[in-house]
A and B are shown apart, each in its own frame.
Chain A
Amino acid sequence: MKVAVLISLLFSWFSSQAQDKNNTLLLAEKFRLNGVSTQKAFGHAQKQALSTTVRLIRNDKLIAMGGIVDSRGYVLTKASDCVGAREAETSDGKTYRLKIKKRDEKTDLALYQLLSNDQVFPVLNWGEGNSTRTGSWVLSSYSMLKEIRAGVTSGKPRKIGREGGVMGVILGAEGDDIGGVRISEVVPQAAAYKAGIQEGDVITKVDGRRVKKRDQVVKLVGSNDPGDVVRIEVKRDSDLKSYNVTLGHRSVTFDLFNRNLQMSGPVSKRKDNFPMILQHDLPLPKNSMGGPLFNLEGECIGFNIARVDRVTIYALPESQVRNTLSKFLGK
């Protein structure tokens, strides 16, 4: 009975858009999780998200989002995505020149200021984000500051460990009779490939230390960060060769191989080494990281800090963000 009522109502509300090319009945877009009708229900929270989020622009392109944390026009954003931002746009369409004030490596946050003579900016209200239960509504402004995107906290709040730099090779056989660790695959265009390392090479030394097991190679290489140079000695047939490999980011190197991610669009370069994160499932692109995350009450409970894959975003919880902000403001 209940179901029948729902169906009949839905059908009467259907417009032509409800049928796709296979003549399959689909739920009209406006009723979906991120449809305009659902967005409207967020009311006050939607308004808060739109009015206190800014677009950060470089060469006329959106590179990150930010959140207004002080009425003087101070904006927090994701530092590594915002490099070179010159201009900011607010949801009322106004644009402002931007000045960088501070950066913090540990949290990957940066503080900018919107330059304006007399304007008093709307400031986001902080909520309490550390205890957010899995399955709680969260929302953020979407890229154009016309709509929001809603979803839920999808995993437990936790620390995300450091990933370390990678060469972009798959390690194969190991041991004494091989004389090191054989490379069974070289990821095209990745760090080792660019340095000249080839499939079949046997790694004998990493930074001068002799290696015989895969674990040793992984540990020695992984103790360096992306961008660091590691000296790799290999045996190729009977020749001994030595290469300087400038390590890459794990996400960028290996995700190229991952079909899921090919279908998902770019992910954040840095998505590791955060002291604490909230995980949620908002469908936001990589260039919309750095913006604030809100709860159903319209309070800011964190800042989106990394797009991890097609269904996962990490946000720094409000306590982390506010600690860093206090440091930035010299309090």
Chain B
Amino acid sequence: MMATFLLPILSAEDKADHAWNQIVPQNSDDLLEIQDRLQSLLPKVQGAVVSIEASDGAGSGVIISKDGLVLTAAHVIGTSNKKMTVRLPNGKRFPAISLGGSELSDAGMLKITKAGSWPYAKMAPRGSASLGDWCFGLGHPGGFDKARGIVVRVGRVIGNKDETMQTDSRLLGGDSGGPLFDFHGQVIAIHSRISKQPDENFHVPIESFLANWDFFQNSKLFTLAQMEEGGFLGVACKETPDGVKVIEAIEGSAAEKSGLKPNDLILSVNGEKIDNREELTILLASKKPSDEIKLEYQRDGKSQSLKIKLGDRPTE
């Protein structure tokens, strides 16, 4: 009883207390609070930020487990089972091997192969980043440089949809794979691509990793070529707070023939719970075009189940 009374009050205070939770800073005091928060978080998270070196280039990454799992971008690892080198902020190099990822979202994973107890950063839970959140990006643009240190940039989440997060925290080549943190010091995304406008860069949301964790960790790399060849259901989906929602069942596709309709929520495929759009794409593409799947979905609040024979992806 007490708790239910207290909770809303605490939340309201929490919001009023912190400048980084406001829609926009009002004055230099708010800005100072944002700066102080950033500077208090930096020493806590920087130790987990690494530079990644391979024979054909360099990028950045972040250690997210004590045993040395590193999140980065798919285009930084390139392929699975590749020997790479991870460089800690103190300049020391350690051997690593690339695991898996997805070319769709550009999520990539690798592992430090030397046993040890590694400094690591916390990942944000699913769905914690929202439009307008303050964030900061770290990385080693242009490669490791001890005199310069890890480069810090600050900004806000300006877009967050499906497999892509956009921020105005600035990026450069070599930042690729580096972490984007929220103002709680949690990893909310991984740097992926720069845009022509320096203030609209692209990141892989942490949800892409969380939804496909086992797939990535088992050294499976989902490629766009695989998507072309795999089974084709024929739904256009978007991610909503309720789940992965059908917006269109493409004419003549397996989805349309099976009776799937806009606003249906996709719940699972062959018993595998679907957490995001990319996971659905990866699952379907790992089937052959003639395979049958069992699809669970929700329509008008009711769960239903269908057996669907997949088809070929139309060539355009």
Contact = CB atoms under 8 A, between A and B. Distances in A.
A202 B157 CA distance: 52
Contacts of A137: 31-32, 34-35
Interface stretch (A75-83, A104-112, A308-316): A308-316
Contacts, number: 149
A268 to B, nearest CB: 16
**10 tightest CB-CB pairs across the interface, nearest first?**
A27-B158, A41-B25, A311-B170, A155-B148, A37-B24, A260-B173, A156-B149, A158-B147, A26-B159, A1-B11
A32 B155 CA distance: 7
Contact of B148 (A35, A158, A258): A158
Contacts of B27: 41, 43
B3 interface: no
Interface stretch (A7-15, A58-66, A213-221): A7-15
Interface in A283-331: 283, 296-297, 309-312
Interface stretch (B56-64, B191-199, B263-271, B304-312): B191-199
A223 interface: no
Given A33-B155, A45-B28, 7 more contacts: A2-B11, A2-B15, A33-B169, A38-B25, A137-B35, A155-B151, A283-B199
Interface of B: 7-8, 11, 14-15, 21, 23-28, 30-32, 34-35, 38-39, 42, 128, 130-133, 136, 141-142, 147-149, 151-159, 161, 166, 168-173, 194, 196, 198-199
A38 B199 contact: no
Given A26-B166, A33-B155, A135-B152, A263 B8 contact: no
Nearest to A34: B199
Contacts of A31: 23-24, 132, 156
Interface string A77-95: 0000000000000000000
Contacts of B155: 32-33
Interface string A195-238: 00000000000000000000000000000000000000000000
B50 to A, nearest CB: 17
A44 interface: yes
Contacts of A152: 35, 38, 152-154
B161 A154 contact: no
Contacts of B166: 26
B66 to A, nearest CB: 26
Contacts of A133: 39
A1 B27 CA distance: 25
Contact of A24 (B15, B130, B159, B199): B159
